Amino acid sequence: MKILGIETTCDETSAAIVENGTLVISNIVATSSDFHVQSGGIIPEQAARKQIEYIIPVIKKCLEETCKKLNVNLNNKKSKVKSFEILISSFDAIAVAVGPGLVGSLLVGVETAKTVAFVTKKPIIPINHLVAHIYANWLALEYTSDISTKLKLPEFPALALVVSGGHTDLVYMRNHGDIKWIGGTRDDAAGEAFDKTARLLGLPYPGGIHLSKLADEYLANLKNKPPKFDLFPRPMINENNFDLSFSGLKTAVLRKMQDKNHKISTPELAAQIQEAIVETLVYKTLKAIDKYKPKSLLIGGGVSANRRLKELFTNKISTSYPHVDFFAPHPKYSTDNAAVIASCAYFNYKPADWEVIAANPNLTIIGER
Ligand code: KG4
Ligand code: ZN
């Protein structure tokens, strides 16, 4: 089954065609990120306007690319209607991210997806953006002429850490559609911590990527004895739960920056911040592994693109939990994209009437708030 996924929750506009939840045939992503650099953060109104501008060209490009890859001839000179029919025959169902996200951005994707469902009379599946991030770990195949690559897919029960710009959640999955929330941030999300501290360091938007790049360069160039990475707090790690808190980090970094006598370079500060965030995430996740004993550990969301986070998880899992399979997405599927929406819909196939599907900006990983 081929599903057309649509994702417009924030500043990315994306459409993808994924076959049987694992094979990405096309994944087109446009972003309005560049338009938010000057303001140092997303302007929701601007993001929504860009969604409107991008959505149809992105879907069209995705369907055209799919037809091309499947060797379907689109050049029907006699009839545009015929070409349109060929384009829409390249998928069996539509999946759309209905939340959480920015309301203006969400509405664009949701209403467009409903229109596509209405016009094509195909089933439509509403998808939770946060759950979809976990499905990046099922996107194991790319469409090439040789698709015989051996698949290694996550097994259940699984523990999943979703780390995005607005959310940080730890969930236990007994199966597809059987998700239990076991912990998460009480204040700022991990991505937010990266972004806000990056801004304090004077780095451009989106801060997470710039901060981690600076930190990695610093770590790679360490010649002398490395410093102790204990400059900033790891809150709540000794509490007997799976909750996290990152708002204190921002304050600690601000205090350090205001201290005129500090002699720590910006790259070292970046490394100290990255280490504080990453260690806290890994520490709490390993604690959850001890309790829930999953077969697989999955990470997803923008912060799962972080090199150091993956390195630390890989090291800890291979030394202390060799029976657990660790999965981290390819970076292009960590950040917002529609392929994960389509994959999630395949494994959680629950079509709804288009009339009842609505954007829900406040959706949580386990449903309504
Ligand atoms: O999942 P995502 O693309 O969008 C949301 O759903 O929020 O996540 C975006 C977040 C941003 O906070 C961004 O700074 C962070 O992911 N991010 C990173 C990295 N790449 C993206 N944080 C740390 N290291 C990275 N390499
Ligand atoms: Zn996201």
- Best mutation site among 209, 210, 336 for ligand 1 pocket (most ligand atoms within 8 Å of CB): 209
Pairing of strands 158-163, 296-300: parallel
Cα of 246 vs centre of ligand 1, distance in Å, is: 15
Given this model, what pLDDT does residue 96 score?
99
* Nearest listed ligand to the Cα of residue 194: 1
Q: Do residues 237 and 282 make contact, with C-beta atoms less than 8 angstroms apart?
A: no
The rounded percent of the chain whose pLDDT value lies above 90 is 86
Q: Which atom, in ligand 1's list, is nearest to the CA of 166?
A: 7
| pLDDT for the residue numbered 145 | 53
Please choose, from the candidates 64, 61, 59, 70, the residue with its C-alpha nearest in 3D space to the C-alpha of residue 119: 59
Task: Report how far ligand 2's centroid is from the alpha carbon of 228 (Å).
Answer: 32
- Ligand 1 centroid–CA 343 distance in Å is 20
Ligand 2 center to residue 102 CA distance, Å?
Answer: 11
CA distances from 80 to 62, 72, 75, 278, 321 (A): 17, 15, 9, 52, 57
Which residues line the pocket of ligand 1, CB cutoff 6 A? 10, 164-166, 191, 194-195, 206-209, 212, 301-303, 305-306, 335-336
- Cα 75 to averaged position of ligand 1 atoms, centre (Å): 39
Q: Which two tokens stand for residue 311?
A: 């390195």
Helix axis angle for 266-292 and 247-258, nearest 10°, is 160
Indicate yes or no: pTM above 0.85.
yes
Residues of the chain with pLDDT under 70: 144-150, 368-369
Position 214 scores a pLDDT of 98
Model confidence over 281-321: pLDDT tens digits?
999 999 999 999 999 999 999 999 999 999 999 999 999 99
pLDDT tens by residue, 249-292 = 999 999 999 998 999 999 999 999 999 999 999 999 999 999 99
Nearest C-alpha to atom 8 of ligand 1 is from which residue?
A: 302
